[in-house]
Amino acid sequence: MRTFKPISYARLLEQIEIVRSGLRWSTTLDRAGISRILHQVNKLRSEVLTYARVEKIKARKSERQIKEHHAAEERRQALLDRSFVFEGVFGDNPKLLETVETVEKAARTDLPILIEGESGTGKELLAKVIHANSTRSQQAFISVNCGAITSTLLESELFGHVKGAFTGSIKDRKGLFEAADGGTIFLDEVGELPLESQVKLLRALQSGEIQRVGSDDPIQVDTRIVAATNRDLYEMSMNRQFREDLYYRISTIAVTIPPLRERKDEIPLLIDYFSGEAADQLKQSEVKLTPRLYNFLHDYAYRGNIRELRNIIYRVACLSDGVADIIHLPEHIRPDPADRATSQKVNPSGNGRTLESVRKKAVDAAEKEFIEEKLRLVNGNVTMLARQLDMNRSYLQTLLKKRGIRAKNYKQQKRPATPVAK
Ligand SMILES: Nc1ncnc2c1ncn2[C@@H]1O[C@H](COP(=O)(O)OP(=O)(O)OP(=O)(O)O)[C@@H](O)[C@H]1O
Ligand SMILES: [Mg+2]
């Protein structure tokens, strides 16, 4: 059987040349006829040339893309070949690869590392990865959320205290820096650290010494510091909300984890990973996603980054009977048209109201009212409110955004000073 083989552009141009020269020597056509056909053939020739040029550019471009892709694959494989430990997944995204490669090199040293990234991008996971790839991996890894502990308690948590240092301190107590001696301490939300504690942290970094609250005796510790923040620490240091000297010290090695929207190519990998993880945890077979849901998950703008994707997969795995679809998504993220179609199926009256949606609306409204009232009491200070509610500050920020609340609207205006009578 003959197979069709497309003719190359070069061969096509050669054929056109043959027609052109043949035309010139034609004995059967008059001059006007020859020049009319020649004109058509010339037009055809120039079109073929244009196509040939475009194809060449395309080929060059895709060759570059293929090369880039191969390079990323090789970089990823090289990391794995060097027994790099990563307790999750990472693909071929160049931005993430760069972060992971920096972390791999820095992990072997005792230098402080600052991890920057939006909420839910995997900062804590990366801190664990640093520890696991360091020579300290057999020692303690201790994680402290600086935003979740009140400033009065934080110092004693970190550095310990001696008996009688404050009311209730009935005996000496080791702090987390000492508990992590030889290992790593992870200071999450380091931007929330009160200025007074920042001085002590700087000292620990500079001299490896700490002092328990209520004591002047220095204690030598060998604790590696990894810090994380989802705030702009540099800007905070410029605004004197964070010590500049400490900023430079803890960010000796600074890495950023890109948000999920900047590494969408990792989404299929993460979906697979979390589907498997959910199946194990829920003791069921792996959930299958309809193409509709899969496409939605691929294009969705994850404000909560990887954590949000993970939660969605767990949810759909739990709520579906093996095959998950749009209907299994949390209602507030469900795309509208599909939502309408599916809610009509669930609720034949077709007015779009379901018991679940009515309940959710009421809960949302109550939550909003509660937060607004509390915000007013703390004068719009989110950090203070997070502490009062014993809540992660970044989670509270997400909640505010979700409910459309702007903290600064709850700041009371400073009254202008009363004019002094002359
Ligand atoms: N590359 C990854 N592979 C698998 N799971 C991941 C990955 N990155 C993050 N995760 C998971 O996503 C969730 C969020 O990650 P993590 O808690 O490290 O984020 P975070 O940046 O510290 O968030 P926050 O700023 O809110 O504290 C965790 O369950 C974590 O295990
Ligand atoms: Mg975290």
Structure confidence by residue, pLDDT tens digits, 75-85: 999 999 999 99
Distances from the Cα of 186 to the Cα of 113, 130, 157, 322, angstroms: 10, 10, 13, 38
Q: CA nearest 222: which of 175, 178, 188, 158?
A: 178
Question: How far apart are alpha carbons 411 and 142 in whole angstroms?
Answer: 36
What is the secondary structure of 250-311 as a DSSP string? HTSEEEEPPPGGG-GGGHHHHHHHHHHHHHHHHTSPPPEE-HHHHHHHHH---TTHHHHHHH
Crossing angle of helices 305-319 and 291-299, in 10° steps, is 160
Q: pTM of this prediction? A: 0.69
pLDDT band at 173 (very low <50, low <70, confident <90, very high): very high
From its phi and psi, is residue 119 left (phi > 0), alpha (psi between -120 and 50) or beta? beta
Burial 282-312 (b: 16+ CB within 10 A, else e): eeeeebebeeebbebbeebebbbbbbbbbeb
Whole-number average pLDDT of the chain: 87
Q: Compute the half-sphere exposure of residue 47: CA atoms within 13 Å on the CB side of its CA.
A: 7
With a cut of 80, say whether residue 264 has pLDDT above it. yes
Ligand 1 atom 15: residue of nearest CA: 122
58 vs 294, more confident: 294
Give 266 Cα–ligand 1 centroid separation in angstroms: 14
Reported as a pLDDT band with limits 50, 70 and 90, residue 409 is: confident
Positive or negative CA dihedral for 219, 220, 222, 226?
Answer: positive
Of the pLDDT bands very low, low, confident and very high (cuts 50, 70, 90), residue 340 is very low
Query: What's the mean pLDDT in 351-374?
Result: 76
**Closest atom of ligand 1 to CA, residue 310:** 12
C-beta 368 within 6 A of ligand 1: no
Q: How much is the pLDDT for 225?
A: 97
Q: What is d(CA 379, CA 20) in angstroms, rounded to the nearest whole number?
A: 85
Q: Is there a contact between 388 and 378 (Cβ–Cβ < 8 Å)?
A: yes
Q: Which ligand is nearest to the CA of 144?
A: 2
With cut-offs at 50, 70 and 90, classify the pLDDT of residue 413.
low
Quote the pLDDT of residue 387. Answer: 86
Site to substitute for ligand 1 among 80, 86, 121, 125, most atoms within 8 A of C-beta: 125
Does residue 150 register a pLDDT over 90? no
DSSP 142: E
The helix (run of H) or strand (run of E) holding residue 35 is helix 31-81
Atom of ligand 1 nearest to the CA of 121: 21
Residue 55 CA: distances (Å) to CA of 11, 63, 148: 15, 12, 58
Q: Which of 171-180, 262-271, 300-309, 333-342 has the lowest mean pLDDT?
A: 333-342
Question: Rounded distance, CA 191 to CA 202, Å?
Answer: 14
pLDDT above 50: residue 32: yes
Q: Whose CA is nearest to atom 16 of ligand 1?
A: 122
Report the percent of the chain where pLDDT is more than 70. Answer: 91
Domain 262-335 in this protein, CATH class: mainly alpha
Indicate the DSSP class of residue 242.
Answer: S
Q: What are the tens digits of pLDDT across the range 89-118?
A: 999 899 999 999 999 999 999 999 999 999
Residue 125 alpha carbon to ligand 1 centre in Å: 6
| Burial profile 101-110: b = 16 or more Cβ within 10 angstroms, e = fewer | bebbebbeee
User: Domain residues of the chain, as ranges?
Assistant: 9-74, 88-258, 262-335
Say yes or no: CB of residue 148 within 6 Å of ligand 1: no
Instruction: Check pLDDT > 80 for residue 145.
Output: yes
Q: pLDDT band at residue 3, thresholds of 50, 70 and 90?
A: low
Which ligand gives the minimal distance to the CA of 275? 1
Task: Give the class (CATH, top level) of 88-258.
Answer: alpha beta
Measure the CA–CA gap between 224 and 184, rounded to whole angstroms. 5
Ligand closest to Cα of 306 equals: 1
Q: Which two tokens stand for residue 133?
A: 């790839």
What is the per-residue pLDDT for 10?
A: 83
